[in-house]
Amino acid sequence: MKKSAREIVESSRSITRRGLMLGGIQAAVVATLGWRLKTMQLDRAHEFRLLSDGNSIKLRLLPPARGLIHDRNGIVIAGNEANYRATITREEAGDPAVVIARLRHLIPMTDTAVAALLADIGRRSAITPVVVADRLTWDQFASIAINAPALPGVTPGSGLSRSYPRGGDFAHVLGYVGPVSDYDLSKIENPDPVLMLPEFQLGKLGVEAKLEPQLRGKAGTRKVEVNSAGREMRELERIEGEQGATVQMTLDAPLQNFAIQRLGEESAAAVVLDVQTGDILASASAPTFDPNLFVRGISGADYRALMEHDHRPLADKTVQGVYPPGSTFKMVTLLAGLDAGVIDGGSHFYCPGYTTVAGRRFHCWSRGGHGSVGPVQSLERSCDVFYYELAQKLGIDRIAAMARRLGIGVRHDLPMSAIAEGIAPDRAWKKARYDQDWQVGDSINSSIGQGYVLASPLQLAVMTARVATGREVRPRLVRAIDGAAVPADAFADLGLAGAHLDIARAGMDAVMNGDRGTAGKSRIVAPEWRMAGKTGTSQVRNITAAERARGVISNDQLPWERRDHALFVCYAPVEAPRYAVSVVVEHGGGGSAVAAPVARDILLFALAGGLPPLDAYPPGQRDGIAEMQARMRLAPVPVAQAAGRARA
């Protein structure tokens, strides 16, 4: 059929449009190929020439700098320091034993260390670098770099390693970091690839472990050119990682240092709380240890010395140690009795020196007794019989409920390791634990902080802060993360009658400042810092009737491990409480003689913001205090931080 002129014109136009589209596409393809050829043949010619010679490009992770940890004043208590090291990669080394034998001519390596290193290399993936030597001197590092051609697979490098500039002051709170072990990896479901790096350090204990996600940071990357032998030729690109968060603790470095030194070589613990905010200003456990030893690889001899020490330097006694609180628990029993209406401020019990229950005598610490004793005097003189009688009327369940209300038998939520819950026993607890019924004698023992009752120094400090304020003070350890303040909680009222709290406080004040107070020798004479406190002595052995008849053996005549624990709790100023302190000295003997002076000195340091002035002490003690202060070697405080601390 013959087409019309119009149809012929339309067909021609359609063919022209298609041709133009096809031509455009062909031109774009040719242009793209041309651009790609130019890029490969001219711009990246050197890179592809190297690849053709057997070289390759590899992407390697860069460990991030670990976040810093500061005290409340900005003093660095966990930082990073430069570290020169060398690693070996089995895939690139060929025969690691031969390479290490050559390396031994450059740096000292024992046969034992070499055997352990070869075993570690054998366990790891062939492409995983393994640290050969750490903390090299500059000369050692340079000699390895110069001899690199003879050491295939060995890569010298530098990085950052954790350091604790305050030594053992914060060892128990912060913990320490160490190399990532197979055990560490087994506990993580999807481990971060950065954990596989040989130089990476992971938090093992304490704050370092609990805040690991914040402190770790994010890994960087480096693109390197590696030849056919596996040797790194040059770095092509580097993207630095992100440093971990900077964490500011509530701890006060000078106060912590003073507390550690004041505890000395005792097996002891001290906790200082700001009762208004719950800030833990000091958490000291003695004796302490140097966490830098673990970062650098502690020797077998050093580790055995720590493990075999009878004072347990590796244990954090502030939160892990639980002790019968002794008479420091009497405020709990007293407040339980007042709150339940079993006694009031005018109630009295007569103390002849003992109480008899079911034919068994429960003795007061004063063999001659205290006579008629009221609530305030029961604390001032620490009369046991008052509490024996009260416990029989009150019952254990109400005592246990008050203990938990005041923070004992409660696990406080802090970024620390192995925090103990303690025990505030009641009928249900004994039935569940021992399948036994509660006895009256159990209540009598518990009323004075013996028997099944156990509390940590942290819990005793919390108890004291709650009595001082009447509020549910909760301890906290982190003040800010990366400059963002962690808000302090608004503490709820405990719901205890003010008149009842005033009786307990008056009793604690009388302990220090009354005519017959058990800790009068450790009072603070500066009126603006007047202190209230309570002594405690807890037995760790049974005293038989025969021993009582012939005279109880004094603590200084017993082996150390059989002596009583010495305890003391206090707060100040009495009129406007600011700080609460608890001290426990394991097997120290009497709380008034041993623990009270230590707590008083630590509390005074907190109040004074530095070494306490001598005129805050009783006149007869000032010369001895001056000598003690002169013997102390307190850590220096940087000028800027000292100024900030004074303002705080």
Write down the pLDDT at residue 643: 44
**pLDDT < 70 regions, the chain:** 1-19, 40-55, 198, 227-232, 541-557, 560, 638-648
Write down the pLDDT at residue 647: 41
The span from the CA of 117 to the CA of 97, in Å, is 10
147-201 pLDDT, tens digit per residue, is: 888 888 888 877 788 999 999 999 999 999 988 888 888 888 788 888 877 678 8
The span from the CA of 395 to the CA of 392, in Å, is 6
- Please name the residue that has the structure tokens 């639980």: 322
Q: Domains in the chain, ordered, with CATH?
A: 58-247 (3.90.1310.10), 253-298+313-647 (3.40.710.10)
Spell out the SS3 assignment of 338-371: HHHCCCCCCCCEEECCEEEECCEEEECCCCCCCE
- Host H or E run for residue 381: none
The span from the CA of 581 to the CA of 191, in Å, is 41
Nearest residue to 380 (alpha-carbon basis) of 570, 510, 520: 510
Write down the pLDDT at residue 179: 84
pTM for the predicted model, two decimal places:
0.83
The span from the CA of 235 to the CA of 223, in Å, is 6
Q: What is the DSSP string of 289-347?
A: --THHHHH---HHHHHHHHH-TT-TTS-TTTT--B--GGGGHHHHHHHHHHHTS--TT-
The residues that bridge with 485 in the sheet, in sequence order, are 480
